[in-house]
A and B are shown apart, each in its own frame.
Chain A
Amino acid sequence: MNIFRLAGDLSHLLAIILLLIKIWKTRSCAGISGKSQILFAIVYVSRYLDLVTTFISVYNTFMKLVFISTSVATIYLMYVKFKATYDHNHDSFRIEFLLVPCFLLALLINNAFTPLEILWTFSIYLEAVAILPQLFLVSKTGEAESITSHYLFALGSYRALYLLNWIYRYYAEGHYDLIAIFAGAIQTILYCDFFYLYITKVLKGKKLQLPA
Chain B
Amino acid sequence: FSDEDDHDEL
Contacts and interface: CB of A to CB of B under 8 A. Distances in A.
Interface string B1-10: 1111011111
Nearest to B6: A54
Nearest to A158: B10
Contacts of A110: 1
A176 B8 contact: no
B9 to A, nearest CB: 7
Contacts of B9: 5, 162, 165, 180
B1 A120 contact: no
Contacts of B3: 174-177
A174 B4 CA distance: 11
A59 B7 CA distance: 14
Interface of B: 1-4, 6-10
Interface bracket on A = 20 to 34
A63 B8 CA distance: 12
B6 A56 contact: yes
A68 B7 CA distance: 17
A12 interface: yes
A178 B2 contact: yes
B8 A56 contact: yes
Contact of B10 (A54, A63, A177): A63
List of 4 A-B pairs having minimum Cβ-Cβ separation, nearest first? A177-B2, A178-B1, A111-B2, A111-B1
Interface in A3-35: 5, 9, 12
